[in-house]
Structure 1
Amino acid sequence: MTDMHGNTPVGGPVPPNPGDEHAQHAAQTGQQPYYQQPYQQPYQPQHTPGKVAVEKKSHGLRTFLLAFAGAALACVIGLGGFGIWQAANGSSSNGGSQTVIGSTEGGSVNANDEDLTLPEAVAKKSLPSVVAIDVYTNQSAGMYGYGYSSNSGSGTLTQSSLGSGVVLTKDGYIITNNHVVEGADALKVTIEGEQYDAEVVGTDPSSDLAVVKAKNASDLKPIEIGDSDNLIIGEWVMTIGSPFGLEQSVATGIVSATSRSQIMDGSSSAQQGGSGTTTIYANMIQTDAAINPGNSGGALVDSDGKLIGINTLITSYSGNYSGVGFAIPVNYAVNIAQQIIDGKTPTHAQLGVSLSNVNAQNAQRYGLSVDSGAYVANVYSGSGAAEAGIEKGDIITKFDGNNVESASDLMLDIRAKNPGDKVTLEVNRNGETKQIEVTLGSDDSSQSATQQNSSSSSMLERLLGGNGGSNQNAA
């Protein structure tokens, strides 16, 4: 949330850009990203509708090769907590949709019913709802930034990466990470030993979420949807997915923490093998249950076998599991998936301002009243901020009672809310502290503009509502 060019807005000086703090931190810590690696398995389209049996995979050389595969799972994770997730539960956010997400045959897992241990009972319930996703790309077009291209010019579709997904509906809607399917020319999904051709229904790159559809699928087993708002640190969880291509793998652990948040900006994403899209990870679930390359998009379930998160990121020096993994909370993820399935462009809460960081150095230089917070460089007409009376030159220091140390903090706080939510901001205006209630708007207009316009303007600006022609970040 910084002024990339040191511009001075009307209404007061903009604190200068402190630089790419996330990239600097990654360089300092030595944390290593995952990269997708090329496969040499050609794509074979299904010539008959529906599913076909899948041959069992060898555990020899192929497994060794798969150990170097996986989705781009890199990120240095911030340790700040930003309140409890407020996104609506997917089961209550259908908005009249005919597509019902999640299993309607819920219930608690009782390990004693079949003389099973808890992990055995949870795995038996949840495994049929977790899929393996094989991604194929056209070699003649290159590997979308992952450093591999074919000289044959044949244009053959070749397996380039893999990931996991979770079944949401009986007819084949599957949620996964955007980075799993990004750049795919063809997809296949394996569900309970059966393979289907699949297609991308829609994506939300800013949240790293996507929905794919298994073609001609029917009578699948949707996962039961849990509630990520009420997680308890220390409670038992299980990760399910295809680490290193080993389908239907489970690992157990606990919820290590909640409310872990991070913004991966475009330059950091590009350096780590991604597409250069800014991604906002707010209020993620931290777990010590194993997450490895290939687990991306898979399920994090609780002791009742209910989905509570979508496995997405790790922090690691080695590039492999180090006991610190992260999942996108299900309440948020399913809300986004429901919008995609309903044919809508996913939207997010928006305040309607451009922001810059405030720190001790620029506070002293510019004579600011506080030495931390988010400096309001511009307020957009018709936004929630404008209607509430937020002004240029205000410094936002608290969001619903939580301290705001930087513009990035405020962005993450806002992303954890829904359009229409009311929030209370503490604002320092010329040395005077004010409490201002704001009704958050929606970024639907800027999202539509993003789809129609891929200009060189700031991705954060287009994503979060900035439309003032500068490179100041917006929220």
Structure 2
Amino acid sequence: MTDMHGVTPEGGAQPPKPGEEHAQHTAPAGQQPSYQQTYQQSSYQAPVQPQGYRAPAPVSVERKSHGLRTFLLAFCGAALACVIGLGGFAIWQAATGNSGGSSDDGQHTQLGAQSSGSVDAGDEDPTLAEAVAKKALPSVAAIDVYTNQSSMGGLYGYGYGSGANSGADSNTLTQSSLGSGVVLTEDGYIITNNHVVEGADALKVTVGGEQYDAEIVGTDPSSDLAVIKAKDASGLAPIEVGDSDELIIGEWVMTIGSPFGLEQSVATGIVSATSRSQIMDSGTDPFSGQSTGEPTIYANLIQTDAAINPGNSGGALVDADGKLIGINTLITSYSGNYSGVGFAIPVNYAVNIAQQIIDGKTPTHAQLGVSLSTVNAQNAQRYGLPADSGAYVARVNPGSGAAEAGIEAGDIITKFDGGAVESASDLMLAVRSKNPGDKVTLEVNRNGETKEVEVTLGSDDSSESASTQQQSGTSQESLLDRLFGGGSGSQQNAA
């Protein structure tokens, strides 16, 4: 018999006899039990009688029968012995930490919270991803971008460089990057990211197995959105549009696009978070050293762990019904590739911008009508400002919603609709999340006194923007120079 505890008797002794195994468990730690001693302790010898001893004559005794009482007493004694034995064994187990693989008797201490009810996930359809992909894939296009100069590769974390010949003739179109897009109409209007098509001299799109030449219809760099048109296209499959305002964290989603040029690729995940916002500074042209445009404002982005890689930009984020809920746009990554944190522009916002472009309008956004700088503890102490955080109003545009509400230069805006404003960027993102005509409440610190002001947001249409640019001259720059000790170029933000 094999010793299950990995110990064998000394000297090759025989296994214990029945009834002796318990000695193996109760022997003191580090000491082997003596099987011989155990056996001797249980033996019996008759006592020796003295010489000349005569046994007394037998006495006849009449015995009364107490069979039932005897049986009951014996049974109770045996039961009590079992209880004592089991109790002692349980105490020994608790003291040694040996569970012995025994089954749970329900008497142990509960670790962690008790269940508050089961999660009813419903019957998961194993073909869900297949069904969604079948519905949405025909509505997602691959976009090839061609330029007249040597390829610079895709934008970091965004596009996907093709490695075109750096010595190519400047008059020869070469593929410089690629991305994805989503079909909005049967006749070929496709929404994508502005950074996918920015600087393109020619475009080709592949959708539904067919390739088309394409042209840019319009762009909105500040939102990183663009609309292109597949030439001579008809009968395409427009995607079904969902409602990004109804998204729930944890909801199942799928990304569709052309990561690294691998067309018609899908990946699944969940909505990790909503209302992620950030501002990306304008880039710089590596040849001229000039700014490539205005900052891009990403408000209320959808965060997902479904894979988004270079080439996925402009592609679709769809829900479990195959409806478009976002345009894949950004990733957070140290390598430039998928790291589990990607972002998409909400479809409600994106489609509104696309509709304006298709209608031939210049896309507009909500605007407060002020020029801002960030207040922090350092400049507040230096210049004696009444607040150590917020958005300092450097200028109020005449005729704007801020001007009509009584906002003045020198005010420090500290709250927007009840939410704290820590910087000029915070206020810009808060304004961009609204629509022209919306009413908002600002908390303003003016010369140390706090007041609430209701403002009706205006629109940053082309005429107002042009007027603002003409009026943001020397007086504004001198104000910022005086207040913050530097040029307005790096300090000023418009909202």
Q: Tell whether the structures are fold-level matches, with TM greater than 0.5.
A: yes
Q: Which residue of 2 aligns with 1:70?
A: none
Check if 1:183 corresponds to 2:202: no
Residue 321 of structure 1 aligns with which residue? 338
Alignment of 1:229-378 (within 5 A): 229-267=245-283, 275-378=292-395
Report the Cα offset of residue 132 of structure 1: 0.3
| Residues 336-377 of structure 1 deviation map (CA, whole Å, 9 limit, x = unaligned) | 000000000101111111111011111112222221110111
* Distance in 2 (alpha carbons) for counterparts of 1:337 and 1:192: 22
Note the alpha carbon deviations across 1:315-350, whole angstroms, 9 max, x for none: 001111000000011111000000000000101111
Distance 2:473 2:347 in 1: 33
Higher relative contact order, chain-length normalized (CA < 8 Å, sep 6+): 1
Partner in structure 1 of residue 11 of structure 2: none
Bigger CA radius of gyration: 2
1:446: how far off? 5.3
Q: Please report how far the alpha carbon of residue 445 of structure 1 lies from its aligned counterpart in structure 2 after TM superposition.
A: 3.0
Query: How far apart, in 2, do the equivalents of 1:407 and 1:270 lie?
Result: 28
SS at match of 2:462: helix
Percent of matched pairs sharing the same residue = 82
Asked if 1:395 is matched to 2:415, the reply is no
SS of 2:203 mapped into structure 1: strand
CA contact (8 A) 1:165 1:241 kept: yes
Give the CA deviation at 1:148: 7.4
How far apart in 2 are the matches of 1:252 and 1:273? 40
1:122-133 paired onto structure 2 within 5 Å: 122-133=132-143
Superposed displacement of residue 246, structure 1: 0.6
Is the 8 Å Cα contact of residues 267 and 276 (structure 1) preserved in structure 2? yes
Relative to 1, partners in 2 of residues 1:393 and 1:270: Cα closer, same or farther, differing over 3 Å? farther
**Corresponding residue for residue 436 of structure 1:** 453
Distance across 1 between alignment mates of 2:464 and 2:259:
33
Q: Is 1:135 equivalent to 2:145 in the alignment? A: yes
* Distance change in 2, residues 1:351/1:287 (3 Å): same
Q: 1:214 aligns with which of 225, 230, 237?
A: 230
Give the aligned length. 351
Tell me, yes or no, if structure 1 residue 155 matches structure 2 residue 165.
no
Please tell me the residue identity of whatever aligns with 2:254: M
In structure 1, distance between residues paired with 2:153 and 2:271: 35
1:139, distance to aligned residue in structure 2 (A): 3.0
Tell me the SS of whatever aligns to 1:160.
strand
* 1:78 equivalent in structure 2: none
Aligned to 2:249, the other structure's residue is in SS state coil
Quote how far apart the aligned CAs of 1:470 are. Answer: 5.5
Superposition TM-score, scaled by structure 2 size: 0.66
8 Å Cα contact 1:298-1:311 kept in structure 2? yes
Q: 1:431 to 1:154 in 2, by over 3 A?
A: closer
| Shift in alpha-carbon separation, 1:279–1:324, aligned structure 2, 3 A | same
Matched, 1:423 2:433: no
How far did 1:267 drift? 4.5
Question: 1:136·1:185 contact (CA, 8 Å) conserved in 2?
Answer: yes
Q: 1:381 to 1:183 in 2, by over 3 A?
A: same
Deviation at 1:153, TM superposition (A): 3.2
Contact in 2 for aligned 1:297/1:310 (Cα 8 Å): yes
Question: Residue 142 of structure 1: CA displacement?
Answer: 8.1
**Aligned partner letter, 1:339:** Q
Q: By how many angstroms is 1:275 displaced?
A: 3.4
Q: Cα 1:447–1:389, aligned 2, differ >3 Å: closer, same or farther?
A: closer
Classify 1:205/1:407 alpha carbon distance in 2 versus 1 (closer, same or farther; 3 Å): same
CA contact under 8 A between 2:140 and 2:257: conserved in structure 1?
yes
Q: CA offsets per residue over residues 142-172 of structure 1, 9 Å max, x none?
A: 8899997754536111111110000000110
Output the TM-score relative to the length of structure 1. 0.69
TM-align CA RMSD: 3.1
Amino acid of the structure 2 residue aligned with 1:134: D
Q: What SS class does the counterpart of residue 139 from structure 1 fall into?
A: coil
2:491 matched to 1:474? no
Measure, in 2, the Cα distance between the counterparts of 1:209 and 1:418. Answer: 17
Given the superposition, is the C-alpha separation of residues 143 and 320 from structure 1 closer, same or farther in structure 2, using an over 3 Å criterion? closer
State which drifts further: 440-449 or 146-155: 146-155
Aligned-pair CA distance for 1:274: 9.2
Corresponding position of 2:128: 118
Report if aligned partners of 1:141, 1:155 keep a CA contact under 8 Å in 2. no
SS at 1:266's partner residue? coil
In the alignment, which residue of structure 1 is the partner of 2:74?
none
Q: For 2:422 and 2:285, locate their aligned partners in 1 and report how far apart those are by CA, in whole Å.
A: 23
- Check whether the contact 1:179–1:274 (CA below 8 A) recurs between aligned residues: no
Q: Which amino acid aligns with 2:182?
A: V
CA deviation after TM superposition for structure 1 residue 448, in Å: 6.3
Shift of 1:378: 1.0
